[in-house]
Amino acid sequence: KPESIVIDGKSYETDDWTNLPSSILKLVGRNLHLNPNHPIGILNSLVKKRFGNMGYTHYDNFKPVVSKFENFDVLGFPEDHPGRSKSDTYYINKDYLLRTHTSAHEYYCFKNCETPGYFITADVYRRDEIDKTHYPGFHQMEGARIWKKDENVIETISKDLENLPTIDIIVEDTPKSYDDKTNPKQEYMSVEEVALVSRHLKRTIEILVNEVFHLGMIASKKNRNNKKIEPLKVRWVEAYFPWTAPSWEIEVFWNGEWLECCGCGLVQQQVLINSGKNEDTIGWAFGIGLDRIAMLLFGIPDIRLFWSEDDRFLKQFKEGSVNYFKPYSKYPSSKKDISFFINSGKEKGNESERGFHDNDLYEIIREVSQEDLIENVNCIDNFVHPNGKLSKCFRITYQSMDRTLTNDEVNKIHEKIKQTLAERFDITLR
């Protein structure tokens, strides 16, 4: 581990918390959301344009290093929230990390933004599993809107609601879209204020998803020679986030499935106060993941493609339009297994207590195979041996987006992964 890490020209001392590998560091600064001809950038511009004249400031230049305070503490994440753990988050040191969500900028924006609302688009990072829909770097768009809770507040929000554009969308009833017992409102807001602010929030998100998915429908219609475009169908379900109450998630009906796509809620008064707002401030916030949506709308089969520098990928997309990805030939893949016993903590059931977490293996894999040579890692076996030790077997599928891998090269990487795993963790290879 180096003594310090430099990101965006700033140097950070490393410590026990540091777990940011160079393979992730090299994703930082790619700014795919700012490339107007990249699917992520195309979605970003679409939304920017749609909300351009509605009083929002659009931030898309925030740097990815934030403090632990901004990412977790100020938002009221409990101390034992799994999101805080080293197995889920890339720490630069005990105080700084790569943002795990765009909500990390709520503190700054509530403090500094001069318009009543703002949008943020940015790359975010999470240690996660490896498959076609998960990659350690992805993109989110955050939105928020506040009002002063004065004697005219009901009138003001009602007017703002009336001014929202109307759209043709089907909102399905859900039995539990609002329930004060399981999804309680905050004390300081009246029932009427909650109703109005949440209606404004939901309508805004409906406009956003409708804008994006409508273009997806046109693309998919072209793709399937199908003439009819039906209105988008969505539904609202209860959710929980430490910094909003009540909270929801919108689900969009797409290709026969309900797709969870955006968490939101009414901002906790404490978060607003922490961010320098008057205690009489009310408002909403939402956060939407862009990559999964872009994969569906553009027909992109593997999330790694977003990061590809291959012209056969990049040349397919143009500003302002959603069109289907035309697959180019895939290079051959090969599968290899790693099996081992975890030696430590044999009485303890929980994996992290055993000193090894699946994410640790994913991380080694990413570190050792620097160029995204792995398509998928699957845990194919997981059992407690009669000797009390946990035994695991992972199957790794090697496949490059950009070339054919040689046997020799794959063997070398595979051996190196095994070695590194055995060096860093108390395990025995089988």
Q: How far is the CB of 379 from ligand PHE (least distance, A)?
A: 24
Q: Which of 21, 64, 216, 263 binds ligand PHE (CB under 6 A)?
A: 263
Of 8-16, 201-209, 283-291, 355-363, which segment contacts ligand PHE by CB under 6 A? 283-291
Residue 66 DSSP SS3: strand
Q: Which of 355, 357, 305, 334 is nearest to 414 (CA)?
A: 334
Binding mask 133-172 for ligand PHE (x = CB under 6 A): ---------x------------------------------
Based on the shown chain and the rule CB under 6 A, indicate whether residue 345 belongs to the binding site for ligand PHE: no
Q: Which is nearer to ligand PHE, 264 or 361 (CB)?
A: 264
Pairing of strands 117-125, 96-98: unpaired
Q: Which is nearer to ligand PHE, 204 or 244 (CB)?
A: 244
Distance, CA of 407 to CA of 332 (rounded, Å) = 11
Helical segments of 327-406, H only: 358-368
Binding mask 222-261 for ligand PHE (x = CB under 6 A): -------------------x--x-----------------
Quick one: DSSP state of residue 104? G
Q: Which is nearer to ligand PHE, 41 or 263 (CB)?
A: 263
With b for 16 or more beta-carbon neighbours within 10 A and e for fewer, the 221-248 pattern comes to eeeeeeeeeeebebbbebbebbbbbbbb
Distance, CA of 316 to CA of 296 (rounded, Å) = 16
Q: How far is the CB of 313 from ligand PHE (least distance, A)?
A: 26
CA distances from 286 to 114, 283, 360 (A): 19, 11, 31
CA dihedral 239, 279, 152, 155 (to 10 degrees): -10
Residue type, 427: I
Binding mask 61-100 for ligand PHE (x = CB under 6 A): ----------------------------------------
Based on the shown chain and the rule CB under 6 A, indicate whether residue 287 belongs to the binding site for ligand PHE: yes
Based on the shown chain and the rule CB under 6 A, indicate whether residue 41 belongs to the binding site for ligand PHE: no
Q: How far is the CB of 63 from ligand PHE (least distance, A)?
A: 18
Binding site for ligand PHE (CB under 6 A): 101, 103, 142, 241, 244, 263-265, 285-287
